[in-house]
Amino acid sequence: MQETRKREIRKKADSFRGKCNNNGYGIIDLFKECEAQGYKLVRYPLGDDADLGFTLKKDNDIVIFTNSCSRLSREIFTLAHEIGHVNLHMNDTSSFVDDSITINGRSADEKEQEANYYAACLLMPDDDARRFIDLMIPDFKDKGLAAMDIARLMSEFNVSFDMTLNRLENLEIIDSNQKLCLDNERTMRTVGNLLRSVGGNAKLNEPSNVVDIPYEYIDYVIYNYNHNAIPKETLERVLDCYQLSIEDINDKLDVKMDDSDDDLEDLIGGLED
């Protein structure tokens, strides 16, 4: 990626970040900030082996999905990655689907690499990372960083241990040997224990399994039900999220159908019709 393109991406990430509430360093709640920007955010525990997230444009709406079966820190990074697609690529492409290959940086696709760079800049900007280390880890110049320091950083910026290491290496704050030593220390002590030892946010290392669906999503699900795309059980499950029953929306139903297996593609298919 050319430096001119990196600078452009940093500017776009900084612009979005400037609209967010932060704790002095990290964005407090990227999910709320996403909704505040008018995006339709869907969080659903789709399963450990399913896609991590997707973004699509439907008319004037931007719909972002994140799989809440992921560890919270990974789900946050996925969301930042999808916001990157929205702000960098939506003029050329109407949808993106992301899995562990694209989110972990193993894809050769240029747009996926750019979205990952955007996410890193959004969640842990260069200046803020250096400022935190300077002010909160005073013996850094003499002793370097320990795994507990990485846990402090990940808790402050709401990111994963791996993302913190990768970001610090890319910023040339640590080198590859130091990264390996920190990774080995993490393996011996575990991230959960490290977070607890520094009074950090241990929830970052656990899946949230949150179900958060915009109210407008009911119309999408009803559309799919009426077009024989999803079974009754899926409709009932979505309605249950809103504490509604089929009787409450019976006047909007015009097709009854046989039960069949459902998946994410079926559930949101009406968005692309």
pLDDT of residue 261: 45
CA distance 147 to 216: 44
Secondary element (H or E) of residue 56: strand 53-58
Q: Which of 108, 134, 128, 127 is nearest to 26 (CA)?
A: 128
pLDDT of residue 221: 79
pTM above 0.85, yes or no: no
- In total, the chain counts a number of residues equal to 273
Q: What is the DSSP letter of 255?
A: -
Residue at 49: amino acid letter = D
Q: Which of 29, 35, 32 is nearest to 61 (CA)?
A: 35
Q: What is the pLDDT along the chain (273 residues), one digit of tens a residue?
A: 899 999 999 999 999 999 999 988 999 999 999 989 999 898 988 888 888 999 988 778 888 999 999 999 999 999 999 999 999 998 877 788 888 888 888 889 999 999 999 999 999 999 999 999 999 998 999 999 999 999 999 999 999 999 999 999 999 999 999 999 999 999 999 999 999 999 999 999 999 999 888 777 788 778 878 877 778 887 887 788 777 888 888 888 875 444 444 455 555 554 544
